Chain A
Amino acid sequence: MTETPGAGTATTGAARAHARSQAGTVVDCMPLLPPPEGALWEETVAGGGYAHLAVPAGAELALTDRDGDACAHLLLFVTGRPWERLNTADTAKVQWNAYLGVGSLLLSDQGRVLATVVADSSGRHDTLAGTSTAARNTARYGDGTPQGRSPAGRELFKLAAAKQGLTPRDLPPSVSFFHGIRVAADGSLRSTGSAGPGARVVLRAEQPLTVLLANTAHPLDPRPEFHCTPLHLRAVPGVPTAADDPLAAATPERGRAFLNTRTLGAR
């Protein structure tokens, strides 16, 4: 067929030209490629979207709640041996605290450190309530499918996991950033909501990490409508926490967690 300029997409040539003419389009939520100078990866994840990336040991992953209604549900696996993964129970129990803040470690189920919280301007996070499911979001919002208007975190995690060769069986409970949960004296859970636009958390990878991230409303968000706004993430190279870093030596449990992590080579 001959190519006719301006003939829409009725011919192969016109369809090709139409497709190629989209190059360079910029939208609100997309990765920046190539990453800006100095970054390993930079991406804005849509509300209801997900991300997955593998970062080297030492990398710093900055998460920003750009507009104030992001919620970063997060799972971490050691790249190449995903049987070592985030354990939320050990994260709370070993550090004798259920709340995350600067200096908190995200611990694996192997007594080692996956990541360290090195900056936090939010203070609204959660290690207890996990993420949302298709059943619950369908009951609350009428839809929990990943393509719908109120995607469930677990459905997004399943997709992100599949992209990294993992299955639903590989998904343990997750932590979440930018929507706070507090425990009252009687054990009941209370939402403290968002810290507002611009809140930022920086995680330092203490091992090579595969990161799965679902940006969707917290399961205990009290509002009847689904709210979730874009999440910005940027990964830059760095170095793992040093043995003599005050953060590593602050408690005996942290010291032993870093000791186990540094001596990984033996097992």
Chain B
Amino acid sequence: MTTAPATSPAVPAAPGVLLDETVPARAAWSAVVPRGATLTITDLRGNQAVDCLLYDAHDTAVRYSAPDTLQAQRGIFLTTGSVLLSNEHTPLMTVVADDCGRHDTVGGACSKESNTLRYGHHTWQQHACVENFLAEGARYGLGKRDLVSNINWYMNVPVEADGTLGIVDGISAPGLRVVLRAETDVLVLVSNCPQINNPCNGFDPTPVRMTITEGGSR
């Protein structure tokens, strides 16, 4: 396993920046993005999967739904223009800019349990996104039943004609950004995926940067 370097914001906060933090490799992160503000997720080193849960900050029973998002856009890949819908089919966030062009919302999050099926029982003691989600979600009163579908920013999961689906090499690169505009006050939970068994982050988790900017500017 690689060692996460100590990280911190690279530059002083610019005007309008509400929050600018670097999330170390394998770590969890969360914040409330106010309505109208944007969240920029920067893939600092490239090929890092950023697992993401979204909740209405005022009613966490309303949360991101991959099925509703797929229904509305009639496709499985997320990119600029994708509206991230809740389980009540209401907009939570909109992808307003995307340097990468393809993000996954089908593959779900890694867990210690599913890793035993995918790779073997030797992975049982490894880090996993669901552990990050449970620990970070607990700060907001969220528990296991609140973990539903998630987004995997920068992760590449194609589906072939016969239904074969898998996490394959990413198409991201260092410095690429995705920008999300909050359509209501949104609680964002992130697990900067610790996965070291598949190519979603090149078998080497790296840090990402989370920047919240008011008023929709980048």
Contacts and interface: CB of A to CB of B under 8 A. Distances in A.
Interface string A13-28: 0000000000000000
Contact of B67 (A98, A99, A112, A130): A130
A3 interface: no
Interface in B84-118: 87-90, 106-109, 111-118
Interface stretch (A89-97, A193-201, A208-216): A89-97
Interface residues of B, number: 46
B165 interface: yes
B159 interface: yes
Interface in A184-209: 185-189
Interface string B142-180: 001111111000000011011111110000000000000
Contacts of B70: 128-130, 189
A116 interface: no
A172 B146 CA distance: 9
Nearest to A189: B74
A165 to B, nearest CB: 12
A21 B158 CA distance: 60
Contact of B106 (A110, A128, A186, A220): A128
Given A169-B146, A173-B67, A260-B117, A93 B167 contact: yes
A110 B124 CA distance: 12
Contacts of A185: 161
Contacts of A182: 163
B32 interface: no
A185 B66 CA distance: 19
B122 to A, nearest CB: 11
Contact of B145 (A83, A90, A133): A83
Contacts of A122: none
Nearest to A188: B75
B144 to A, nearest CB: 5
B88 A171 contact: no
Interface of A: 82-83, 87-90, 92-94, 96-99, 107, 109-112, 128-131, 133-136, 154, 167-174, 182-183, 185-189, 219-220, 253, 256-257, 260
Given A83-B144, A128-B70, 7 more contacts: A87-B114, A107-B117, A133-B87, A135-B90, A171-B87, A173-B66, A256-B116
Interface of B: 61, 65-68, 70-71, 74-77, 87-90, 106-109, 111-118, 120-121, 130, 144-150, 158-159, 161-167
